[in-house]
């Protein structure tokens, strides 16, 4: 069994990342979602190890120092991050792990896991992005301004991604992401065993023919 | 309409490259095959511009000097190569062009067209490769030795390829290659127009909100 692919999904708010991830895990059985770790208090009904791993600040910081977080960020006074062991265990089990994180986190992950796949999800055109950022017309100007600032910020990192996934047709988009992840299993680095085996066979064959 | 993807298919002899290429052009309408140029004499029934472009040695060498060949090689005293204009015209028309060439040629193409896709087709395991190289037991030891030498040589370049395509199930393999080529349209470099448009929209939007 080959090691899983780590896929990081980022993208504009409202681009449909959540739906895409849910559909990937529903339609195919090779995916595992990561569970984030946070220092914020659990909300009503949230279970440790399911929605999040809930830890105190000291524990979180200790993990960061030990290099046991794939990425992390501080948001509204709380830490959020991806536990490295959790992801590694699932990759070792052959699961393709999907993380949804924003660009700064994605670039942190790429440094630690160079063969991860970075996907950026975007609406099909700028007008559609505008409509999604504006929402249903019920958002306050502050909310829109915050979304806008975030989108402008995120668009700055697009070039570092492996693929821009245009979320126009949901079904096509799910299949496309799945094919991107599955194809990533066929890079030469991932097919090292087959290549070695073939080289061994050719060299043994060669000796036999001499 | 976006520019086509140039795909170079290489692989072990008997790996099924010819069948795969035929099936890609039959099953999907986005593909164009390249027509090679050669200095060897046309055989019975071969038509200029269909099977090959037939030219004399002087013309071929002049094209090489002018940088008008994507790659070329000399084989049994004759030149064979890929005319650059022919490929470029089809890419400009939005066709995804497929070339079948061996590894040395593939690496020449990669230098001139860095965003081309290099696919290496291989049988699913070393034993199967051995059976295919040995053929039906009717080949002379010289033929087998030549195939073997070629296979050993080709396996040396595998790491430079984008993907190793394991030709186990023909139908699955055709679909996989198609998805690799189609996904290549979604790299950030290929989605420059969309990215520019989105950045333009975000910056215009931002000014409007100020």
Q: pLDDT, tens digit, for every residue of B9-67?
A: 999 877 889 999 999 999 999 999 999 999 999 999 999 999 999 999 999 999 999 99
Among A202, A203, A204, the residue to mutate for chain B (most B Cβ within 10 A): A202
SS3 content of chain B, % helix, strand, coil (to 5): 50, 20, 30
Contact B99, B109 (CB under 8 A): yes
Category of A97 on φ-ψ map: left (φ > 0), alpha (ψ -120 to 50) or beta: beta
Under an 8 A CB cutoff, do A122 and B198 touch?
yes
pLDDT at B187: 96
Among B168, B190, B202, the residue to mutate for chain A (most A Cβ within 10 A): B202
Cβ-Cβ contacts under 8 Å between A and B: the total is: 126
ipTM for this model: 0.88
Instruction: Kindly report the number of other CB atoms within 10 A of residue B113's CB atom.
Output: 19
Instruction: Kindly report the number of other CB atoms within 10 A of residue A58's CB atom.
Output: 9
- Which residue among A144, A145, A186 places its CB closest to the CB of B165? A186
Answer whether residue A210 shows pLDDT above 50: no
Alpha carbon distance A58, A10 (integer Å): 28
For the stretch A119-166, pLDDT in tens is 999 988 777 877 877 776 777 888 888 877 878 887 888 999 999 999
CA distances from A174 to A20, A29, A83, A169, B81 (A): 6, 13, 26, 9, 40
Answer whether residue B204 shows pLDDT above 70: no
Under an 8 A CB cutoff, do A205 and B148 touch?
yes
In this predicted model, which residue has the larger pLDDT, A143 or A182? A182
Within 114-173 of B, beta carbons closer than 8 Å to A belong to 120, 122, 125-127, 129-130, 133, 141, 144-145, 148-149, 151-152, 155, 158-166
Alpha carbon distance A55, A81 (integer Å): 11
Alpha carbon distance B102, B124 (integer Å): 19
For the stretch B101-156, pLDDT in tens is 989 899 999 999 999 999 999 988 777 877 877 776 777 888 888 877 878 887 88
Average pLDDT over residues A159-187: 96
Alpha carbon distance B63, B60 (integer Å): 5
pLDDT at B210: 46
Contact B205, A130 (CB under 8 A): yes
Instruction: Determine the residue of chain A that is closest to B12 in CA distance.
Output: A198
- Which residue among A155, A179, A186 places its CB closest to the CB of B198? A155
Under an 8 A CB cutoff, do A201 and B144 touch?
no
Contact A69, A84 (CB under 8 A): yes
């Amino acid at each position: 069994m080959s090691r899983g692919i780590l896929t990081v999904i980022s993208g504009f708010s409202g681009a449909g990342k959540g739906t895409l991830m849910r559909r990937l895990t529903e339609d195919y059985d090779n995916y595992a979602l990561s569970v984030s770790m946070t220092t914020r208090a659990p909300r009503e009904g949230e279970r440790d190890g399911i929605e999040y791993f809930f830890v105190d600040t000291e524990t979180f910081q200790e993990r960061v120092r030990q290099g046991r977080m794939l990425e992390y960020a501080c948001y509204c006074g709380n830490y959020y991050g991806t536990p490295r062991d959790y992801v590694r265990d699932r990759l070792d089990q052959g699961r393709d792990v999907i993380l949804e994180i924003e660009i700064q986190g994605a670039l942190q992950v790429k440094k630690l896991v160079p063969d991860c796949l970075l996907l950026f999800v975007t609406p099909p055109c700028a007008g559609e992005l505008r409509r999604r950022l504006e929402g249903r017309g019920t958002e306050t100007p502050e909310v829109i301004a915050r979304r806008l600032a975030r989108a402008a910020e995120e668009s700055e990192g697009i070039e570092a991604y492996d693929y821009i996934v245009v979320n126009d047709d949901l079904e096509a988009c799910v299949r496309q992401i799945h094919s991107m992840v599955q194809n990533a299993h066929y890079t030469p680095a991932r097919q090292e065993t087959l290549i070695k085996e073939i080289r061994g066979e050719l060299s043994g064959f060669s000796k036999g023919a001499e």
